[in-house]
């Protein structure tokens, strides 16, 4: 959901590409209502592309028509969204190549003075 915000970088800058990633899986309670709520807010293509980079290959390329009541799909979405955490890594802008660092599970989106 994060996007490059370097001044003048406004095209082809999403999704940021994850690199050198260390993942952690943490079990979380599945809440179908929440996932249904999220369906309308997701940029699904970007999510799938990012998951593929992380070798999470079980999400279908498009949201199934019956997504809201497709248990199998909701389970996979739940796993990708809520149980997979990037602990360390980099997010690289596909346009300007700016690198944002993730440390302790926290992405740093701060820019240096000259980039704002």
Partner 1 sequence: MLPTPDLSHLKQADYNHVYEPSEDTFLFLDAFEDDQKYLETLKPAISLEIGSGSGCVTAFVGKILGESSCLKLCTDINPRAARATVATVRQNKLTADVVETSLVEGLLPRLKGKIDLMYFNPPYVLTPSEDVGSRTIEASWAGGIDGREVIDQFLPFVKDLLSPKGAFYLVVIEENKPEEICNILHQDGFDSAKIRTRAAGRERLHILKFTRRTAPEDKH
Chain residues in the site for partner 1 (CB under 8 A): 1-5, 14, 26, 28-31, 33-34, 37-38, 41, 43, 81-82, 100, 104-111
Nearest of 27, 21, 7 to residue 95 by alpha carbon: 7
- Rounded-to-integer distance, Cα 36 and Cα 64, Å: 12
What's the min distance (Å) between Cβ of 73 and partner 1?
Answer: 17
Nearer to partner 1, 26 or 57 (CB): 26
Residue 45, H or E segment: helix 44-53
CB-count exposure of residue 69 (10 Å: 0-12, 13-18, 19+): exposed
Nearer to partner 1, 65 or 110 (CB): 110
What's the min distance (Å) between Cβ of 88 and partner 1?
Answer: 13
What's the min distance (Å) between Cβ of 23 and partner 1?
Answer: 15
């Amino acid at each position: 959901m994060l996007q490059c915000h370097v001044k003048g970088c406004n095209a082809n800058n999403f999704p940021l590409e994850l690199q050198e990633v260390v993942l952690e899986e943490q079990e979380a309670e599945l809440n179908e209502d929440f996932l249904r709520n999220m369906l309308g807010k997701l940029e699904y293509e970007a999510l799938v592309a990012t998951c593929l980079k992380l070798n999470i290959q079980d999400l279908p390329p498009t949201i199934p028509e019956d997504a809201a009541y497709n248990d199998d799909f909701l389970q996979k979405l739940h796993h990708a969204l809520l149980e997979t955490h990037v602990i360390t890594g980099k997010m690289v802008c596909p346009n300007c190549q700016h690198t944002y660092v993730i440390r302790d599970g926290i992405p740093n989106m701060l820019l240096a003075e000259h980039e704002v």
